[in-house]
Every structure is written in C-alpha cells, then in structure tokens.
Amino acid sequence: MSLFTLLSVGIYAGLLTTAQIKVTAGESVFANAMAAAELLGANLREREMEIVLLSQAPHFVRGDFTSPDLLASLERRRILRSEFAWLGVADTNGKVIQASNNMLVNESVAQRPWFIAGLKGVFTGDVHEALLLAKLLPHPASTEPLRFIDFAAPIRNKEGQVIGVVAAHAHWNWVTETVQRVANRRERDSGSEILIVSEAGNVLYPQALAGISRLPENLSDNKNYSKNHSANYSIATWDDGRQYLTSQVMVDASANTHFGWRIVVRQPLENALAPVYATYWHFLILAVIAMILFSLLAWRLAQSVSKPIEQLAAAARSIKLHTTAPRYPTGTNLREVAQLSNAMQSMTESLLTRERELELLNQTLEQQVLQRTEALAAANKQLEHLATTDPLTGVNNRRSFDEKLAECVRMGQRTGHGFSLLLLDADHFKKVNDNHGHPVGDAVLQQIARVIKDNIRTTDFVARYGGEEFAVILPNSPNAIAVSTVAEKIRSAIEIATFPDVGHMTMSIGSSAWHPNEPNATAVIQRTDEALYTAKAAGRNCAVAFRESD
C-alpha cells in the first residue's frame, strides 16, 4: 500500500510537473516570438516614417529634384541608417533623378511595384531580390543572395499634387539581425530557433530553411492569437519529422501594408522536457529505495504480527471444517495475540457442547418446518382454486377468464397465431328463476357448465362470464369451420339435455376471431358480443359467427 501510494503520488506529481514545464517553456517561446515581432514591427514602422518625413521635407516639396540639398539629404540618411542600401527620387514618369551613390540615376523604374504603389500612397514592400541593384552594390562574403525590402512615399507639392516618389531599399539582413537580437544565450543553448515565415507559410529566415521548410499545416491558418496558454503555443510536428514546442506572432508592420509575416519560435520537445526526464530518474531511484525499506518493514511485521494471526485463522478454519484438532500459536510476544488464543480455546470447548445441543434442536425444528410447509402449500393451492374458480358452477371465474384472455393476446403477438372466442347465453333464463326459484336456476347453471365442459376440446378454456353467460376460448387460431363445429356441438348438446324441474333449455352463441395485429382483446369481445346479439335477434337457439358485413 505504501509503495502504491508513493507511485500514485509520484505519477501525479510527474504529470503536474510535465504540464507546468510545458507551460513555462511555451510561455518562454511565446515571449521571444512576441518580443521579436514587436521589435521588427516597430523598426519597420520607423523606417517607413523616415521615408514619409523625407517626402515632406521642404527641398523635396519644392520639386527641384536636381538640387544638391536633396542629394545631400539622401546621402545623410543612408549614412545614418546603414540598413538602407539605396535611397532615390523619381519623377512622375518613373525616371530616377537623384540617388545615393548615383546608383540607378536616369534609369526608369516606372514598372517597379514600389514606384506604382508610391504614386498612390505610403508603401512598404515584401522581401524580394533586386538583380540590377545587387550588381551595383558590393557583395558580402556570404553566399546568401541579396534581398531587400522597399519603402516608398509620394512627394506632393503645396497644392497636394504628386510630383514624384522618394524610395529606399533596406537590406534583408537588417530584418534578420533585428529578429536575432531577441534570441539570448539561454534560448540558443536550449535549441530554440527564431524563424520568419511568410503569409503562405514558407520560411523566409533562416536561409538554411528557406525554400525547404514550411510551417505545419495545423498552424498555417492561425492568424488570430488570444492571450491564453492554449493559443500562445502548441506542440507541432514539422517537416523534418520532429516535434517542436512552437509559438507564432503576427508582425504588425504598419496600417498601410500587411505582409502577413509571422515570427515563429520553436524548441525541440525533447529539450523542453529534459527537466521532466531528470525528475523521472530521481523519482525512480527514490521509488527503488522506498520499495526496499518497505519490504524489510513488511517482512518484520509479518514475522511478529501476521504469522501468529495466520495460525489463529488456521485454527478457526479447523474448528469450522472439523478436519483436525486446532493448533494455536505459542511463545508469541504479543499480549493481544496470546489473549485471543486463550479466548478461542475456551470458545471452542463451548461451541462443541452447544453444537451437540443444536443438532438435536435442529432435527426437531426441521420436522416442524416440513409439516408447516406442507400445510401452507395445501392452503395456497386451495386459495388459488377459490380465486380462479366460480363457486357455483365449478368452472373458471371472470377473473381467471380475463387473465387467460390477456395471456392468449401476448402469446399471439409473439407467435403470430390468433385464437377464437365464444360467448354463450342461456335463453329465457330469467323465466326459470321467476317460475321455479333461484335454487332450480343454480342447478340449471351447474348442468349447463358440465355440458359445455363435456363438449369442448381439452385445450379449450371455459369460464362463467357473468349471470347465465359463459365464455369459451379456443386457442391456436382454429379455422371458421372448427369454431362453428364446436359452437354447434355445444348448442345441440344443451338443446337435447333434460334439466330437472325445467325440462329443456336452449343457448344462443356468438363467435369471433382475434388477429395478431390487434393490440388487445377489447375488439374481439365487442365483435363476439355483437354476434351473440345477432343470434338472439335471429330467434335464439343458434350459433352466429361475426362477419365484417354485419
């Protein structure tokens, strides 16, 4: 039990620790992603604002794009901001009038996306390669291609008319260095990586993953992130087959341009859970030590406590089964066990004496119980007979008839077999009671019941329905000819029978069949009663079967 408790608590604590470490690691990667996204967004907005301010400078607004002051302003801006690879001014026709280092001067940029967008408003473009500009700029030692981000703003005169476009190309390295500054030494040691991912889910940075790695599908469509743990980070399987603790944050560049860039920070899941694995090993060692200690304690308790108690239990079983003489523990150091042993020995002697007395008493009680049981069974049988038999005629009573009828309905619904019902009424029976008295009428009913019982099949059921009416149930769906034969046999037997003090009696009989599609017996009783009424209306002393045309 102690070991089980230790394991249960350890597993529970391990689960809590794992969950907490996941939360901590997830919040860490999310914090890095958020910091990088905010820093990059702020820098992009600052560079865009600088271009806007340039477009509003007085020597730009005057429209003299050949002015040395304008070129000096461009050069100063390029020197102060090393991230700018090129700054220039173009007229409304797309011709570059002046530019830093005189690059692209007199070249046409009318078809460039930044120029077209710059004529309409402030523009910040997505990362791209500029082949012409790359040829003019000194190429770094790195093998990575030169990539740039475009900034552009329209130049308007005092009347608000667009007279040109000022533009700048910023090095892509400036963007990556901005993001990388967020990653501190601790994240690098833990295997964390910062990625820039495009709106389509393609990795833009680092260059080693660009073009060959994509954001996992289950993260590609997530563009809104709420401030809770379930949305700040997730565990995703990347295209290298490894699982990473991943967090992504949208880069809010400006109100004018939406790149759809995302800063993604990912950390290998095994690195994030390394403290958990170390905790598991510590717990395993602790569990082994605890198991050894608890095993020694249990062995000691078994020798001093459990063994004498087991001997007492064996002695109790011997007493119960009468197998051998009970053997009690001796030489025990536990006072409670010694007292219990003495008490059991005294109890054994008392039990043996009482057992002999009880055997004699049980024999007497068994005989009395047997006699009472036989008497009770006879009484129950008599009660059942009284409850189901008509006391005058000796056939089944109305209650027994209702139960039999319900039973036939249930059986017919299960088996699909119907049954038939006869209702029999003694003709002019009231005159018998009026002319001869009720005792003679009772004798007539008793004889009628005997005649009916003598003229039906052994499987048929006869009951007194009420007054001078009787009912017969013919099970197992007999055909119309068989039902008519039974009814006519009963009618003719009543007609030829001689009744003391009365002479002859006749019976009117109605019959109908119950079909398995009927839910209960109400309809068949009604049809049989209608057939009986038809027999009486036809002059009595006849058997009539119910027909639908009736």
pLDDT at 499 over 70: yes
Which of the residue ranges 66-80, 225-239, 487-501 would you say has the lowest mean pLDDT? Answer: 225-239
Q: DSSP string spanning 79-111?
A: HH-TTEEEEEEEETTSBEEEEGGGTTTT-B-TT
Burial (0-12, 13-18, 19+ Cβ within 10 Å), 462? buried
Closest CA to 474 of 446, 447, 511: 511
Q: For residues 180 and 175, give the distance between their C-alpha atoms in angstroms, rounded to a whole number.
A: 9
With cut-offs at 50, 70 and 90, classify the pLDDT of residue 144: low
When comparing pLDDT for 479 and 130, which is higher? Answer: 479
Q: For residues 22 and 44, give the distance between their C-alpha atoms in angstroms, rounded to a whole number.
A: 33
**Alpha carbon distances (Å) from 380 to 26, 365, 384, 385:** 79, 22, 6, 9
Q: For residues 98 and 329, give the distance between their C-alpha atoms in angstroms, rounded to a whole number.
A: 113
Query: Which range has highest mean pLDDT (42-56, 145-159, 518-532)?
Result: 518-532
Predicted local confidence at residue 225, as pLDDT: 40
With cut-offs at 50, 70 and 90, classify the pLDDT of residue 403: very high
Domain 4-25+183-274 has CATH 3.30.450: yes
Predicted local confidence at residue 248, as pLDDT: 86
Predicted local confidence at residue 369, as pLDDT: 84
Query: What class has domain 44-176?
Result: alpha beta
Domain ranges across the chain:
4-25+183-274, 44-176, 398-545
446-478 pLDDT tens trace: 999 999 999 998 889 999 998 899 999 999 867
When comparing pLDDT for 137 and 42, which is higher? Answer: 42
Instruction: Report CA Rg, the chain.
Output: 54
Predicted local confidence at residue 226, as pLDDT: 38
**Mean per-residue pLDDT, 153-179:** 89
398-545 CATH fold = Alpha-Beta Plaits (3.30.70)
pLDDT at 545 over 90: yes
Beta bridge partners of 79: none
Contact 274, 260 (CB under 8 A): no
**Mean per-residue pLDDT, 367-391:** 81
With cut-offs at 50, 70 and 90, classify the pLDDT of residue 184: low
**Mean per-residue pLDDT, 244-255:** 78
269-294 pLDDT tens trace: 888 777 777 777 777 788 788 788 88
With cut-offs at 50, 70 and 90, classify the pLDDT of residue 425: very high
pLDDT at 309 over 80: no
Predicted local confidence at residue 227, as pLDDT: 38
Predicted local confidence at residue 258, as pLDDT: 64
Contact 410, 474 (CB under 8 A): no
Q: For residues 371 and 114, give the distance between their C-alpha atoms in angstroms, rounded to a whole number.
A: 115
Predicted local confidence at residue 143, as pLDDT: 58
pLDDT at 429 over 50: yes
**Mean per-residue pLDDT, 252-280:** 75
With cut-offs at 50, 70 and 90, classify the pLDDT of residue 445: very high
**Mean per-residue pLDDT, 227-244:** 73
pLDDT at 92 over 80: yes
**Mean per-residue pLDDT, 96-116:** 90
Q: DSSP string spanning 511-526?
A: EEEE-TT-SSSHHHHH
Average per-residue pLDDT in the chain? Answer: 83
- Enter the pTM of the model: 0.49
Do 4-25+183-274 and 44-176 have matching folds?
Answer: yes
**Mean per-residue pLDDT, 52-77:** 90
Which of the residue ranges 203-207, 278-282, 442-446 would you say has the lowest mean pLDDT? Answer: 278-282
Predicted local confidence at residue 187, as pLDDT: 58
**Mean per-residue pLDDT, 232-258:** 79
